Structure 1
Amino acid sequence: MRRTGRTLVAVALAGAVAAGTTGWVSAGAQTPVTGPPPGTAAWRADGTAGRPLPDPAAAPHEVARFFAGLSAAERERLVRRHPLVVGNLDGAPPALRYEANRIAVRAAADPRFAALAGPGRQILAFDPRGRGQVAEVFGDLERAAQVSVLVAGSDNDAASHDAARAPHTGPRGMARALRAAAGADTAVIAWTGYTTPVGVGPDAAGGRLAEAGAARLVRFVRGLDAVGAPDPALFCHSYGSVVCGLAAHGTDARDVVVAGSPGMRAGTVSGLGTRARVWAALGPSDWISAVPHVEFAGLGHGADPAGAAFGARRVPAARAEGHDGYFAPGTDSLGAFARIAAGDVR
């Protein structure tokens, strides 16, 4: 009876949103940033290398082979001529992408992004379109024994990447906390490489942005494989877990870890179509537990990954506070995450 009641509540909420918020949807809906990076037309027309440049849509392994055949001078020339393309080109050497993105951030001359070009920053992706997208590496990606990707949830973008927050919150704070706990042999990437929902509304309740984000995440992970990085662990927070649920089958992730998940758009672990181990954390005071885990009329994200029926491995989270507390130092959840990130669990 309780389950039926929750379903009826969810259906009623979905109907109210669909029927009564047309103005709200048109005013607040986000347009996902997709397709190749800015500057692609000039890149495709550039014949100075004496050979065709790889299309930005080419497979990352093809991109990696192209750059492997270039001299240092040829690589540097492409970075200077096409920083926004090289900086977002999955399969290009990470160090080259860091350099390209420093140039691209400075060229953007946008105070929202200026700090991303600071000394020592390792920006693996930067796209200034819309609210901006960004990926930042903590650790030595090219030498790390284990790599993790922190997939951001709602209300995150390049403009807010460096915003003042509690140290263990936000994609950057979570990634730094995870890397510090997992150890120096690891690298952690804070990935806000898709257009996230803003606030609580139809975008957050629907899968449209997650579908666009999943395609970008799959390509990003394949780019890591192309440059020789280990199979990653995906740590997916909040709406980011919806993205990971849709992307999981297309990646070579060794682990998929969700925290504070509204659902993964699958009924069980087997429905994700992945060989990765799937883990779920849900703290006792996380408001996400009050969200009905159903799908109706395109709204809602399905079964609770932390529920026994889903089949994920449970991550202890008794000491995690609220929706953003899973990566706080001293929590049981961060301790478990660190062991997963370091490859210390079987």
Structure 2
Amino acid sequence: MRPTLPQLDGWNLDGLQRAATAARANADILSTSVDDCSRAASAAGDWHGATKDAATRRIDEEVDHGYEVRTVLLRIADDAADAWQGLQHARTYVLDQRGVALARGFLVEPDGRVSHPDPAKEGDAGVFQLNLFGGLDEIERIDGQFGTRLRESLADLGALRDGQPDIALADGTLADPDAVALRLAALSADERATFLAGLSPEARRQLVIAAPEQLGNLNGVPFALRIEANEINIRNALTAEKRKPERDEARIRQLEAMLSPIPNPEGAGVLGTTPAATGAGATPRLDLVDRQFVMFSTEGNGRMIEMVGAMRSGAPGVGVYVPGTSTNLNGSGSNHVAAWNLADQTGGPVFLYMEGDFPQSLTSLSDGAPSPRFAAEMAPRLVDFGREIDREVSAQTPGTPVSYVGHSYGGSIVGSAEQLGLRADRVLHASSAGTGVFEGGWNNPNPEVRRYSMTAPGDLIGVVQSYPDEGLRLPGIGGLPGNPHAADVGGDPDEVPGVTRLDTGFYGRDFDGHERGEVVFGPDGHGKYWDDPSSTAFQNIVGVIRGGEVTGYVERGIETDWIDIGLGDNGDGVKEGFDAGKAATAGQLFGVDPYANPRITDNPGPGPKLDVA
């Protein structure tokens, strides 16, 4: 429904918010009740016999039934809350625009048309009218979208009164959704995709209600279904975390952020540093969208794959961003912001890939960044997920190039995945730890793959890259192990034949102790450019994903008051190690930042412009 402005004046949306709260509370009560029932039956350890078996079966059926009802209640709660927030923001925006227009002497009609007695102000009147029409259009869109979804959910809730109804399969037979979910789990990804393509939208929705945990993380399931299922899974995880005797408050904040809408990355500008801009006191805006997760699990340190932006026809590129050491679910806010800014600037979807545990230590040999086991475990999953991206691209935006960007330890994950057969159109090693952890070279099935790399001067990862894969033998110390992230193509992606090295260049704004135009350098050069979407390095990531112009590498001489990195130091492990050791000594002895105030002594200009086709 498209309201008039007088109708908006009388709107009271509080009932919608109360409905969301009531639905969520009832879902929690139901969840607690069926859990208590299940635990009570399990605790009756001294009870045996046919009656116990029959009672257990019946309780299991009702527990499953209760979870299905809870799923629909949570969907109603989420949709009602999203509708309330979207309509509230849009209503406030429209009425504010009308208020400003009236205060400046413009005439505003009930349908949003704007005029002014002075013909010279016709242009300004048109701007106000465009803003009002845009807000009313958004209200109509939100009303139609969530009205349809809430009607579907209410119908599902009614159908679940006596248990979930059977669904129609492609051959016309009827089957229990829980049995179908078990059947799906036993199929290959390709078989799942074919099976689900034969089901009606109604049947697919019933499958999500029956088994969101399975549907959310199964390859072969369309991303739209996985996103719908994982919204439920995240909501259930939040409820479970809040009920724990010792709650993880950081996890609760993260899950709440994952369920909060964010500005649409399509043309909204730089996000800044806050993952979700919808909290109390946020400026009303018309472009809010739900976050989208095509994988979610609380296993380990928390895992997810977030799709930021939309998979749509005409997208210039699809990006997959694999972050590095210390990445975990609770601390993924900055990774999300980087992915959002990439999606905003590339005009296509960007996947933040966290389908596994990352090392949390920089130094531990067993479970830190030096260990290859995290890359070895995650690389096969990345290969499989790459096939799912290709499936979605083929269906929705055929021919769109897919690029993989591995940062730091993530570069080793991407390189290892290429060793196992990851298909990519473009690959970028950004401050990468290495080229792969398995034996053998890269095995990308795309013969036209284009590979790029970039590492900032003075970045300590350069020492790791240059470390010999066969190890070192030092007098008085003995043999040291080789670089576990050095594939047969070589350990330093900047030096591998066929890889085009790009420039990390300069910061594009003043932030966090760095000035606009300052060279990206030193330990901060390892990752600070991800926080500066206007930096040369970030723009190069954008260029690789969307195609177009990037900045090629130029070696520079750089000095500070404490160290001097000269031409020829880059790629020379001995010199890089010496520079790093000298800086560490200065920092320890004198309490200074040895990398502060860098000055370029050689080649101060930007690198050459290159085209990414």
Q: Aligned partner of 2:403: which letter?
A: A
Pair 1:48 & 2:176 matched = yes
CA contact (8 A) 2:376 2:438 kept: no
Q: 2:191 matched to which residue of 1?
A: 62
Determine the structure 2 residue equivalent to 1:81. Answer: 210
Decide whether the 8 Å contact of 1:150 with 1:174 is kept in 2. Answer: no
SS in 2 for 1:126: strand
Asked if the contact 2:309–2:340 (Cα under 8 Å) also holds between the matched residues in 1, the reply is: no
Whole-Å Cα distance in 2 between the matches of residues 305 and 267 of structure 1?
Answer: 15
* Residue number in structure 2 paired with 1:337: 541
The structural deviation recorded for 1:142 is 4.5
In structure 2, the CA distance between the partners of 1:307 and 1:98, relative to structure 1 (3 Å rule), is: closer
- The CA distance in 1 between the partners of 2:222 and 2:543, in whole Å, is 28
Note the alpha carbon deviations across 1:220-256, whole angstroms, 9 max, x for none: 1111122335451001100011111111142221011
Gaps of 5+ in 1: 1-38, 40-45, 163-169
Pairing partner for 1:219 from 376, 379, 384: 384
Matched, 1:205 2:370: yes
SS at match of 2:349: strand
Amino acid across the alignment from 2:199: L
Question: How far did residue 132 of structure 1 move?
Answer: 0.9
Residue 350 of structure 2, aligned match among 182, 188, 192: 188
Match of 1:176 among 340, 344, 349: 340
How far does residue 176 in structure 1 lie from its aligned partner after superposition?
1.7
CA contact (8 A) 1:262 1:293 kept: no
In the other structure, the counterpart of 1:140 is 310
CA contact (8 A) 1:260 1:282 kept: yes
Give the counterpart of 1:154 among 307, 322, 325: 325
Q: Distance in 2 between matches of 1:132 and 1:286?
A: 28
Q: Is the 8 A contact 1:150 1:188 kept in 2?
A: yes
- TM-fit CA distance, 1:312: 1.1
Deviates more, 1:88-97 or 1:204-213: 88-97
Contact 2:355 2:381 in 1 (8 A): yes
How many Å apart are 1:68 and its aligned residue? 0.7
SS in structure 2 at match of 1:205: coil
Specify the SS of the correspondent of 2:318: strand
Confirm or deny: 8 A CA contact 2:412 2:437 kept in the other structure: no
State whether residues 54 and 63 of structure 1, in contact with CA within 8 Å, keep that contact through their aligned partners in structure 2: no
Contact 2:297/2:303 (<8 A) preserved: yes
Match of 1:117 in 2: 259
Pick the structure with more helix per residue. 2
Once residues 496 and 233 of structure 2 are traced to their aligned partners in structure 1, the CA distance between those partners, rounded to angstroms, is: 47
Identical aligned residues as a percent: 29
1:241 to 411, 414, 428: 411
Q: Confirm or deny that 1:290 pairs with 2:419.
A: no
**Match of residue 258, structure 1, among 429, 432, 435:** 429
Moved more, 60-69 or 124-133: 60-69
| Change in 2 beyond 3 A, CA 1:227/1:60 | farther
Alignment partners' CA distance in 2, 1:96 and 1:232: 22
Q: How far 1:117 moved relative to its partner?
A: 2.0
3-state SS of 1:264 partner = coil
The 2-side partners of 1:261 and 1:234 are apart by 12
Structure 1 pair 225–62 and aligned structure 2 pair: CA distance change class (3 A): farther
The answer to whether the 8 Å contact 1:62/1:91 transfers is yes
Deviation at 1:326, TM superposition (A): 3.4
RMSD: 2.7
User: Number of matched residues?
Assistant: 293
Q: 1:326 aligns with which of 529, 532, 539?
A: 529
Q: Does the aligned pair in 2 maintain the 1:181–1:334 contact within 8 Å?
A: no
| 1:301 and 2:472 are equivalent in the alignment | no
Over residues 92-126 of structure 1, what are the superposed CA-to-partner deviations in whole Å (9 max), with x where a residue is unaligned?
Answer: 12221111111001111231423212231111110
Q: Which amino acid aligns with 2:356?
A: Y
SS of equivalent residue, structure 1 residue 271: coil
SS at match of 1:160: coil
- Name the SS for the 1:106 alignment partner: helix
Contact 2:372 2:437 in 1 (8 A): no
Over residues 181-200 of structure 1, what are the superposed CA-to-partner deviations in whole Å (9 max), with x where a residue is unaligned? 22x3x111111111100111
Contact 2:467 2:482 (C-alpha < 8 Å) held by counterparts? no
Unaligned runs of 5+ in 2: 1-63, 65-166, 168-174, 242-251, 262-289, 395-399, 472-480, 507-519, 549-611
* Alignment partner, residue 95 of structure 1: 224
Q: Would the aligned equivalents of 2:311 and 2:393 in 1 still touch at CA under 8 Å?
A: no
Contact 1:60 1:226 in 2 (8 A): no
The letter of the residue matching 2:485 is H
Amino acid across the alignment from 2:203: E
Q: 2:467, 2:483 within 8 Å by CA — same for their partners in 1?
A: no
TM-score by length of structure 1 reads 0.76
